[in-house]
Chains A and B, each alone.
Chain A
Amino acid sequence: MNKRSNLLALLLAAASVAAASSAAARDSIEVVGSSTVYPFSTVVAERYGRSSGKPTPKIESTGSGGGMKLFCSGVGTNYPDITNSSRRMKASEFQKCQDNGVTDVIEVHIGYDGIVIANSVKVSPMELTRKDIFLALAAKVPGAVAGELIENPYKTWSDVNPALPNTAIEVMGPPPTSGTRDAFAELGLEGGCKKIDWIAALKKTDKRAYKEICHTIREDGAYIEAGENDNLIVQKLEANPAALGVFGFSFLDQNADKVQGSSIESVEPTFDSIADKSYPISRPLYFYVKKAHVGVVPGIQGYLNEFTSEKAWGEEGYLAEKGMIPLPIKERRAMAENTRGLVPMTGKEGLK
């Protein structure tokens, strides 16, 4: 008898624990979104939590798209307060937000992240152009006649450009699910793709075909999907000096003894060259805040103030130390004012 009642008591206890706590309201900020912004927002969250004595915001790395989906699902403590993104919000996402009652969204542009193409320090650094990158990595490249496309025939870098070394094309980079891959295709490949006149002309007439040509990466083994973990790519580059790897600038910054960045159009990826935008492959980083949650979930205003303070996102700030490239001072000031004043997006930003 008494064994049975023990058993029942245990079950009841477990069930009541589950029920009671699910009803409780939230006292800490919930942030979701891009894995690229994650290393920066986590630092801010931690500093904010430590200096304010309030609960530290919880940050999930769901990817930019996944974060937008959660963020735009609705208003209320069941939905996240902030989403990070390594690209701007799309018009369709803004619309979805509006449809679900998330009407007032504050957009905060926080800075830039460079994408580097690096190889092992054991060999000499590469000097690439975006056109080289496109020709080496696109699935289809222009043939002899304008308007003709052929399967990418290039096997070595010297096939692409006689000035480059005669080594096989072997590039390790992130898989299609990654935001880094999207940005690399958009800024690196498309940047080179545009240099070919007839493809650039195609953009006006057939945008879909243009994107298809410029963004599709070859799948014959020259581009190796090395997973989302950038540390792994660094290790593989160390083991294989003939290969190149594609990853975020902060990993180059941390592993300068193992890998070196290739210069693109003779600009080396450095903190300064990414900041002044002379290094061409860099992308903007954003986060989006639900205005309806400010004041409901405690601490949002404090977190925003911390993020937009000079000691965080300034040129000498701690985010720069973590590898984020800050905005120019004027933009930074304007953005900080906008954010602290909780000015929402109007829908007329020209979102794509």
Chain B
Amino acid sequence: MTKPVSTPVNNLEKIRKSLGRRNRSERLFRWYGRLAIFIGLAAVTVLFTDIVSKGHGAFRIAYLQLDVEYNQDLIGVDNLSDPKQLILANWQAVPKQALREQFPDVSGRSDKRKLYGLVSNGAGFDLKDRLLANPLLLGTQEKVWILADDDIDTYYKSWLDGEPYAARLSDKQVKWIGELHDQGKIRLQFNSNLFTRGDSREPEQAGIRGAVMGSLFTLLLTLMLSFPIGVAAAIYLEEFAPKNRWTDFIEVNINNLAAVPSIIFGLLGLAIFINFFHVPRSVPIVGGLVLTLMTLPTIIITSRASIKSVPPSIREAALGMGASKYQMVLHHVLPLALPGMLTGAIIGMAQALGESAPLLMIGMIAFIVDIPGGFSDPATVLPVQIFLWADSPERAFIEKTSAAIMVLLSFLIVMNTSAVWLRKRLERRW
């Protein structure tokens, strides 16, 4: 005896009964998905609005217009080509003199100090650079826009926004700024210092150029080392290595390394490169080496995946035509897998660009003013610069921090977009 076979009618009914439930769960799932995307987008929007609202102010900075006189006696220079005179010269005397002329009735030591506090203490050096560029100015007079002190800048911006913050200023300074404003002698200009200078402890003179160059050198070295090594490792493992316990072991280890917290690579770098090989601290070489260790697993894994995605028919065709294995890999597999590898490399680089933890151990969290000119100059990188500014007491660094974050984010967006573009443009689908 066989069991009674359920009739098709019964089955249909079953399906019809379950249909509502199944549709419902699908609808629910879609809503979950939408909710997830919404939460993600909302978080990004909040983050971006917060950063942009705090940071947009940093792209403009207060300047004062003053009548400066490049008086030889005042500066103590009569020959601009004599380096000794240039070092001993009193450059700050020029803006000080100009301020005294602007406010002739200010007297007394402490009032004068407050008056001199209106301009940045680097203003004299800015004028020196201007003078060296046009030596004919020596002995003449001109109207120049001079960088204001960061406290003045913070106050003036907050005053323009209607919520003046004057705790760091004296009443007299507030009055002077009011007078300058009425005469149109204070204004916000594009803050070119932010992009042309290195770090500084004076917020108005601080820039990200040093950190950008440091990031550039570090990443260049990382790319130069990790891409060839990563691709070579991937090709060997995928195409040449025998499949045995050893290669399995290596594969497990590579996957493991990709998940190791980045600070561990910093410790490794400290032990190997600095303590053993005596590479100097805080230079892009050691940073690049450490970040190479960190990005290698990512590059190897993505390169292997893109080699795997090249269909076997290509390999067989090449071998069938009499190509050696080496020729098959170099002439056929590699060119087809390259777009995928490049995408992996760009994503790896983007990761490396945002890293600060491994650099902590190797001395790249440091105050470095001079803009690095090569792989062996002390340097810091963008995320570290953001960290250092976020930790500074001066109020004006808050907006600088957000501005630096905006720059870092735009680099990341460019890199990630180009990765997507490369994939769309060059990748072949089989």
Contacts and interface: CB of A to CB of B under 8 A. Distances in A.
Given A229-B391, A257-B165, A42 B367 contact: yes
Interface string B352-390: 000000000001011111100011101000000000001
Interface string A250-263: 11011111000000
A251 B397 CA distance: 12
A228 B83 CA distance: 43
A42 B201 contact: yes
A230 interface: yes
A24 interface: yes
B87 interface: yes
A336 B281 CA distance: 30
Given A21-B376, A61-B366, A11 B228 contact: yes
B181 interface: no
A13 interface: yes
B237 interface: no
Interface in B282-301: 282-283, 285, 289
Interface string A75-97: 00010000000000000000000
B185 interface: no
Contacts of B201: 39, 42-43, 46, 322
DSSP majority for the B interface? loop
B221 interface: yes
Contacts of A271: none
A58 B378 contact: yes
A255 B398 CA distance: 12
A204 interface: no
Contacts of B374: 21
B390 A18 contact: no
Contacts of B246: none
B269 to A, nearest CB: 13
B87 A60 contact: no
A21 B378 contact: no
A21 B366 contact: no
Interface residues of B, number: 48
Interface stretch (B40-48, B70-78, B172-180, B272-280): B272-280
A10 B370 CA distance: 28
B370 A55 contact: yes
B19 interface: no
A22 B285 contact: yes
Contacts of A26: 280
Contacts of A322: 201, 393
Contacts, number: 115
Contact of B391 (A52, A231, A253): A231
Given A17-B285, A231-B393, A255-B395, A7 B232 contact: yes
Given A231-B393, A254-B168, A254-B393, A56 B376 contact: no
A28 interface: yes
Contacts of B366: 58-61
A256 B168 contact: yes
A323 interface: yes
Contacts of B395: 254-255
Contacts of A60: 281-282, 363, 365-367
Interface residues of A, number: 51
A10 B228 contact: yes
B7 to A, nearest CB: 68
Interface string B189-216: 0000000000011100000000000000
A50 B370 contact: no
Interface in B392-412: 392-395, 398
Given A4-B330, A17-B285, A22 B279 contact: yes
Given A14-B221, A254-B395, A59 B278 contact: no
DSSP majority for the A interface? helix
Nearest to B360: A62
Interface string A37-66: 011001101100111110110111100000
A348 interface: no
Contact of A58 (B232, B334, B368): B368
B370 A61 contact: no
Interface string A294-328: 00000000000000000000001010001100000
Nearest to B224: A14
A43 B206 CA distance: 12
Given A21-B376, A39-B392, A3 B369 contact: no
A58 B367 contact: yes
Interface in A256-287: 256-257
Contacts of B390: 229, 231
Residue of B282, B285, B365, B369 with highest tally of chain A CB at under 10 A = B369
A254 B396 CA distance: 10
B426 to A, nearest CB: 17
A32 to B, nearest CB: 8
Contacts of A24: 376
Contact of B394 (A3, A254, A257): A254
B365 A21 contact: no
B122 interface: yes
Interface of A: 3-4, 7, 10-11, 13-14, 17-18, 20-22, 24, 26, 28, 30, 35, 38-39, 42-43, 45-46, 49-53, 55-56, 58-61, 78, 228-231, 248, 250-251, 253-257, 316, 318, 322-323
10 contacts: A18-B279, A26-B280, A28-B370, A39-B392, A45-B369, A46-B202, A58-B367, A60-B281, A60-B367, A61-B366
Across the A-B interface, the 5 shortest Cβ-Cβ residue pairs: A21-B376, A56-B369, A256-B167, A59-B367, A60-B366
Given A18-B221, A26-B280, A46-B201, 20 more contacts: A11-B228, A13-B224, A14-B221, A17-B285, A20-B376, A21-B280, A21-B285, A22-B277, A30-B281, A50-B125, A51-B87, A58-B282, A58-B366, A58-B367, A59-B367, A60-B366, A229-B391, A253-B393, A254-B168, A256-B167
